[in-house]
Amino acid sequence: MPRLPIIERYILREFTFSSLAAVVVLLVIFTGGAFADVVNNVATGQLPATVMFTVLGLNLVKTLQALLPMGMFLGILLALGRMYRDSEMHVLAASGFGPQGLLKPAALFAAGTAIMVALVSLWLAPWAARTSDAEVEQANRSVIAAGLEPGRFTSLSGRGGILFANTISPDGTRLGKLFVESERTGKNGVTSISVITANRGTLFHEGQGNNRYIALYDGHRYDIPLGRDNWRLMQFQRNDIALSAPADNASQDDPYNRRTTTSLVGDHAPAARAELQWRIAMPFGPLVLAMLALPMARQPPRSSPVGRILIAVLAYLVIMNLMTLARSFIASGKLTAPVGLWWVLLPVFIGAAWVFARQYATRTARVSGRRLKQ
């Protein structure tokens, strides 16, 4: 394989460093938002704290298919913008390296990014979604997922009250010597305290939402209305109490996100076709964005890059929203699968290539009645 010229290696190096910096910043932003969502689910008892960081990491893997193209787009824009502002592009043009020479390093860099996006979109993202669901489901099989620890009073997130168990089995499904306290206010405005004691308990799941319950055996229940003397004592052989419902990712996300790409190929359901078209189109995003970055990066010397960065972010958001809209059209049957997301990507690519060609096209000027090439 022939070695690239020094100038092209220099431009690729600038693309790489700028893109890495952009990806790091975007990753911090994405991580902050994802971490806030995960912590909120843990605080409300919908997600076990034991798998919090595992779920966070797997969610970040899924965001790479959108993060990598955006980081590459901003990286090319920042690198070329600096070269224009520092007049490096003018020096290169004077030495015979015209703007058309940017096409090869930009294409190589975009192709490398496209390969990484294809790996994430076609394999890593569905695997991360399936693994995240499996980890959460496995952890929810244990009362430890609700934050319970033996020998400690624990607040029950999502339903109120306090639970104490002096022993918990290693698998977190069996408890011994339980104490449960909760409060509730009736329609008449009277607050009652409920105290339950039991010799043992077991965790079980029930219902379509896979809700978690603890079955208490051989115990007593005390209902105590505050400010009144009509206390009530009940003895029971079994009494079930509900813990907070576990996270139900399947109800929040499209279930086709977790299927393998090969299983989507033969599925004729509109939602499956929409998911397949999305996975196929995502790797072509870096190629389109690289072409778009070339004309957008051109700017006069010593100008501020802020405006172009804002325009670039806005352009990326518009493209992604149009792709999401096309995906929803395919899933709802309003758009045929062969059309896919190409009606968004191809016009952007062709338009960017046309603008780039127009920027550096040979122009003519009239001088003394004759046309002179500029």
Task: For 338-350, write each residue's pLDDT tens digit.
Answer: 888 899 999 999 9
111 is a domain residue:
yes
Greatest pairwise CA separation for the chain in angstroms: 111
The better pLDDT of the pair 202, 119 is held by 119
Q: Are 47 and 123 members of one domain?
A: yes
Report the pLDDT averaged over residues 206-225: 79
Residue 128 located in a structural domain: yes
Cβ-contact 258, 44 below 8 angstroms: no
Same domain, residue pair 20 and 116:
yes
Least confident of 36-45, 60-69, 280-289: 36-45
Same-domain check for residues 292 and 255: yes
8 A C-beta contact, residue 338 and residue 277: no
- Joined together, the tokens standing for residue 79 give 């690198």
pLDDT mean over 271-276 = 90
Helices and strands of the chain, counted as H and E runs = 11, 8
* Residue 22 sits in the same domain as residue 111: yes
- Over range 193-201, report the average pLDDT: 90
| Percent of the chain topping pLDDT 90 | 34
CA 13 from centre of chain: 28
Residues 183, 42 share a domain: no
Lowest mean pLDDT among 39-43, 80-84, 325-329: 39-43
Tell me the pLDDT tens digit for each residue of 137-176: 776 665 555 566 788 887 765 556 788 888 888 777 788 8
Residues 6 or more apart from 119 whose CB is under 8 A from it?
none
- Is the pLDDT at 30 greater than 60? The verdict is yes
Residue 1: band (very low, low, confident or very high) from pLDDT cuts 50, 70, 90: very low
The mean pLDDT of 206-215, rounded to a whole number, is 68
**What's the pLDDT score for residue 140?**
64
The answer to whether the CB of 132 falls within 8 A of the CB of 43 is no
Bridge-based pairing of strands 370-373 and 232-242 is: unpaired
Output the CA torsion sign for 315, 316, 320, 321: negative
Nearest to 292 by CA among 318, 273, 258, 253: 318
Same domain, 55 and 103: yes
* Buried b or exposed e, range 222-241, using 16+ CB within 10 angstroms: eebeeeeeeeeeeeeeebeb
Specify the pLDDT at position 161.
77
Mean pLDDT calculated for residue range 197-206: 84
Q: What is the mean pLDDT of residues 312-331?
A: 93
User: CA-CA distances (angstroms) from residue 321 to 17, 176, 316, 341?
Assistant: 28, 53, 9, 11
Residue 251 has pLDDT above 60, yes or no: no
- Under the banding of pLDDT at 50, 70 and 90, the label for residue 245 is low
pLDDT given at position 198: 92
- Choose one of 212, 245, 278: the last residue of a domain: 245
Domain that holds residue 73: 6-139+251-373
Q: Does residue 1 lie in a domain region?
A: no
Q: Which residues contact 19 (CB under 8 A, 6 or more apart)?
A: 71, 72, 74, 75, 76, 79, 109, 113
Is residue 89 within 8 A of residue 99, CB to CB? The reply is yes
Helix axes 285-297, 103-119, angle to 10 degrees: 150
Distance CA 272, CA 261 (A): 10
The last residue of a domain, from among 228, 245, 262: 245
Per-residue pLDDT reduced to its tens digit, 42-83: 776 667 677 888 888 888 898 999 999 999 999 999 999 888
pLDDT digits (tens, 9 = 90+) for 107-123: 999 999 999 999 999 99
Residue 353 has pLDDT above 80, yes or no: yes
Which pLDDT score, from 0 to 100, does residue 133 have?
82
Bigger pLDDT: 325 vs 50: 325
Residues 110 and 178 in one domain: no
Among 205-214, 226-235, 255-264, 286-295, name the one with the lowest average pLDDT: 205-214
Domain count of the chain? 2
What is the pLDDT, as a whole number, of residue 157?
58
- The per-residue pLDDT for 21 is 94
Domain boundary among 224, 245, 266: 245
